[in-house]
Amino acid sequence: MTSNAIVKFDNVVKKFGDFVAVEKADFEIGRGEFLAIMGSSGCGKTTTLRMLAGLEDPTSGDIYLDGERVNGRATWDRDTPMVWQSLALFPFLTVQENVEFSLKMRGVGKAERTERALKWLDKMQITEFADRNVAQLSGGQKQRVALARALVTEPKILLLDEPLSALDAHLKVRMQAVLSNLQKDLGITFVYVTHSMSEAFSMADRVVIMSRGRIEQIGTPREIYREPHNRFVAEFLGSANIFDATIEGKVTDGWKVTHEGGNTVIPTAELQNGKPGDKVTFIVSAENMQLSAPDSDQIGIEATVVGDEFVGGTAMIFLETETGQEIKVQKSHDELSDVNAKAGSKLIVSWSAENCHVLPGE
């Protein structure tokens, strides 16, 4: 366990009968780090969090918290409070009483409980609701109460299990900023479980991608987005075009490969070793694709526009080649003004060799 790590999972396995929920989880979480664990439903992310919280015991392997093995240690003896998806606030208590609750369970005196609770209500900007019943609060206000209740004990680590999933879109964005700023200000380790890439990538220092109980990749949001380790991660992110190709031979700048619809050059930095006939899989991010009119001189793949999706100032254009491969192109509205990107239109799709990334796990 490195000196800066506060959590270590050492080959942790969790089984429920014959079902393997988590398979050989082996990673560390840095002190003061914001780590997000993400994946689709059933991937093992919540089970991983519950084992750290002491709500589940590993079937095998060890979990270390601040250098101490915590297998079998009770939840209340770990100082790892959790903010639940359901928030689990007590409806029969006021806002302040909810925040004081964990202190009361620890035997903290009334005067100190009140002082510490009011301090955290102030930090979360909800002091005016101190005497209000939690049922009278909005979703965002309830989130702040749940955070204050978890943080009033001033733990070294805070666990969060999809805490924003029930909020409206505009509240999610606002609470993401609150959580991110709070974590930076406090320097507390946050372990955040989510299925939302926008949440994980906007807040976390590092992200763990899980699938079927296995960790597929750990890295910074930029590393994962730019250099996914395998096809699963690339497909999960949803913003990459994936091409299966065959190496034709060596050229000056790298390797010439053929793929469905054409050929391209993969730079030597991306493909160090290879030989003619080898199969490779490479990706190109949607924002690195170019669109041209069919009568232009641009060399690329001809594809038909099948639909589009507008998000703020950008649009994702979905195209399909004659052989049925889907291609995604993300551009600003200004960049699309020069081409006819309406459904049914034929366009030429192209990209630069430096934007190709070979999937090492394929």
Which tens digit of pLDDT belongs to each residue from 241-272? 999 999 999 988 889 999 887 888 999 889 88
Q: Tokens 């991010």: give the residue.
A: 285
How far apart, in whole angstroms, are the C-alpha atoms of residue 290 and residue 281?
Answer: 20
pLDDT of residue 3: 73
The hierarchical CATH code for the domain 5-231 is 3.40.50.300
Residue 302's CB is within 10 A of a number of other CB atoms, namely 14
Span 100-137, pLDDT tens digits: 998 998 889 999 999 999 999 998 889 999 999 988 88
pLDDT of residue 25: 97
CA-nearest of 196, 132, 194 to 162 is 194
Phi, psi for 65 (deg, rounded to 5): -125, 115
Task: Estimate to the nearest angstrom the gap between the alpha carbon of 269 and the chain centroid.
Answer: 27
pLDDT of residue 163: 85
Cβ distance 191 to 50 under 8 Å?
Answer: no
How far apart, in whole angstroms, are the C-alpha atoms of residue 259 and residue 244?
Answer: 6
Cβ distance 163 to 83 under 8 Å?
Answer: yes
Sorted by sequence, the CB contacts under 8 Å of residue 353 that are 6+ apart come out as: 253, 254, 264, 265, 266, 267
Q: How confident is the model at residue 202 (pLDDT cuts 50, 70, 90)?
A: very high
Cβ distance 65 to 6 under 8 Å?
Answer: yes
pTM, entire model: 0.88
Cβ distance 340 to 354 under 8 Å?
Answer: no
Q: Is domain 232-291+298-358 in CATH 3.30.1120.10, yes or no?
A: no
CA-nearest of 268, 293, 283 to 238 is 283
Q: Is the pLDDT of residue 26 over 80?
A: yes
How far apart, in whole angstroms, are the C-alpha atoms of residue 84 and residue 159?
Answer: 8
pLDDT of residue 234: 93
Lowest pLDDT segment from 27-31, 191-195, 237-241, 326-330? 237-241
How far apart, in whole angstroms, are the C-alpha atoms of residue 194 and residue 162?
Answer: 5
Each domain of the chain, given as residue ranges in start order, spans 5-231, 232-291+298-358
Span 214-242, pLDDT tens digits: 999 999 999 999 899 999 999 998 889 99
Sheet containing 214-219: order of strands: 82-83, 157-161, 189-194, 34-38, 206-211, 214-219
Mean of pLDDT over the chain: 91
How far apart, in whole angstroms, are the C-alpha atoms of residue 235 and residue 96?
Answer: 45
Residue 4's CB is within 10 A of a number of other CB atoms, namely 11
